[in-house]
Amino acid sequence: MKALVSTAAVAALLLALTSGLPAEAATPLPSGGTGLSSSSKSAVKFQSAAPSISRLSGGDRYETAVAISRQFPAGVPVVYIATGAGYADALSAAPAAAAQGGPLLTTARNVLPQAVAAEIKRLKPQKIVVAGGAGAVSGSVLTALKKLAPSVQRLGGSDRYETSRLLIDYAFDSAPIAYLATGRNFPDALSASAAAGSIGAPVILVDGKQRKVDKSTTALIRDLGVSRINIAGGTGVISSGIESTLKNTMSVKRLSGSDRYSTSAAINRYAFSSASTAYFAVGTGFADALAGAALAGKSGSPLYVVARTCVSSAVKDDVNALGLERRVMLGGSAVLTSAVGKLTVCAKPAPKPAAPSNPGDSKNCSDFSTYASAQAWYKKYFPKYGDIARLDYDNDGYACETLPGGPAS
């Protein structure tokens, strides 16, 4: 929205120029319709011009990561590499890359994409860090990477949680603040990765369904000297038991909302009081956003997880309050439409139907073998019965999304 400035405000600026006073000191308090915004109770600022809206995208997920990486200059100290077929390893790699001043690129399991190899040549890093074991990034890709940098190191554990700990132990000598996110899904951790990266903090992945923090994670937190943990997500993704365990030894702040989009807004509202740029990624797929989390963290910018065609009113209000110069969408128009960049607010969803007195044959996610079959059942029966078994646990319209073929699989 373009800023409007009153004639009184213009006169005040002229007065400032001729009197030697600071512009803000000479600016009168705003009146209705001036388009002025106050950053505090004692200071008045002119609103900046309407922010630019742009997009970083490529022909596929790997080329999109390259487009994001091109925002980094040549001569970076490090490049992180993670699989583009899964999200887990990249969630901890992104803030590690941000902390060490480099981008995150993604690769296919068995072949290093040509565009990625060319981008690494442009970047000329001193080191490449591969996140994940051979099951995620094969030995043949590792061999190809060794031709592109003086040093290549793999950090991969027996599972996503050990890989997360290895990445953090490697990249962070200490961390007074850390973010905690579930390794079972990606949306909450994406926003947390950018927020953590902006302050040089790690994102520790845990199995959020457990009732307490495991011993290995407890040891990592102790060794890092963490005194404050920010939990990304509600009790449905990180249990109250884990929160209680942590509160015994440190300060804990839970950042959550009613769904992935409001959780993203809550994380960014807490982490950023101002920013020049905001990034937007679709909340139902991880491919385009992984590299974006590293860039957002490095540049001190929020990353908002949003729907494909719109944003929530909370996100719109928060973004407008930041005083941005740029809004950047991650991914092509099939992933995020131009309406997101314009901050078009999502229509209110239709009210959920009341559960019938005798719902009959309800379903659980374990009753389905694939995401497609679960989603088909959900779309057919939800209007009649409601979501009795909570197939759509985070109310985003996607049922059992962690099943094979789902957006979080």
- pLDDT tier for residue 17 given thresholds of 50, 70 and 90: very low
Phi, psi of 214 (to 5 degrees): -70, 160
pLDDT above 70 coverage of the chain, percent: 83
133-137, 175-179, 273-277, 393-397: segment of lowest average pLDDT: 393-397
Q: The dihedral of CA 114, 330, 296, 402: what is its sign?
A: negative
pLDDT (0 to 100) of residue 287: 87
Q: What is the mean pLDDT of the chain?
A: 86
Q: For the chain, what are the domain ranges?
A: 52-342, 358-408
Phi, psi of 82 (to 5 degrees): -140, 160
The tens digit of pLDDT for each residue in 235-263 reads 999 999 999 999 999 999 999 998 999 99
What is the reported pTM?
0.78
Would the pLDDT of 97 be above 70?
Answer: yes
pLDDT (0 to 100) of residue 149: 98
3-state SS string over the chain? CCCCCCHHHHHHHHHHHHHCCCHHHHCCCCCCCCCCEECCCCCEECCCCCCEEEEECCCCHHHHHHHHHCCCCCCCCEEEEEECCCCHHHHHHHHHHHHHCCCEEEECCCCCCHHHHHHHHHHCCCEEEEECCCCCCCHHHHHHHCCCCCEEEEECCCCHHHHHHHHHHHHCCCCCEEEEEECCCCHHHHHHHHHHHHCCCCEEEECCCCCCCCHHHHHHHHHHCCCEEEEECCCCCCCHHHHHHHHCCCEEEEECCCCHHHHHHHHHHHHCCCCCEEEEEECCCCCCHHHHHHHHHHCCCCEEEECCCCECHHHHHHHHHHCCCEEEEECCCCCCCHHHHCCCECCCCCCCCCCCCCCCCCCCHHHCCCHHHHHHHHHHHHHHHCCCCCCCCCCCCCCCCCCCCCCCC
pLDDT (0 to 100) of residue 9: 42
pLDDT (0 to 100) of residue 283: 92
The tens digit of pLDDT for each residue in 26-58 reads 333 233 332 323 333 333 333 457 889 999 999
What is the mean predicted confidence (pLDDT) over 192-203?
A: 97
Q: How far apart are CA 266 and CA 311, in angstroms?
A: 14
Greater pLDDT, 181 or 373: 181
pLDDT (0 to 100) of residue 250: 97
- pLDDT tier for residue 363 given thresholds of 50, 70 and 90: confident
What is the mean predicted confidence (pLDDT) over 298-302?
A: 97
- pLDDT tier for residue 352 given thresholds of 50, 70 and 90: low
Q: How far apart are CA 368 and CA 299, in angstroms?
A: 42
pLDDT (0 to 100) of residue 134: 96
pLDDT (0 to 100) of residue 385: 72
- pLDDT tier for residue 376 given thresholds of 50, 70 and 90: confident
pLDDT (0 to 100) of residue 12: 41
What is the mean predicted confidence (pLDDT) over 86-110?
A: 97
What is the mean predicted confidence (pLDDT) over 326-336?
A: 97
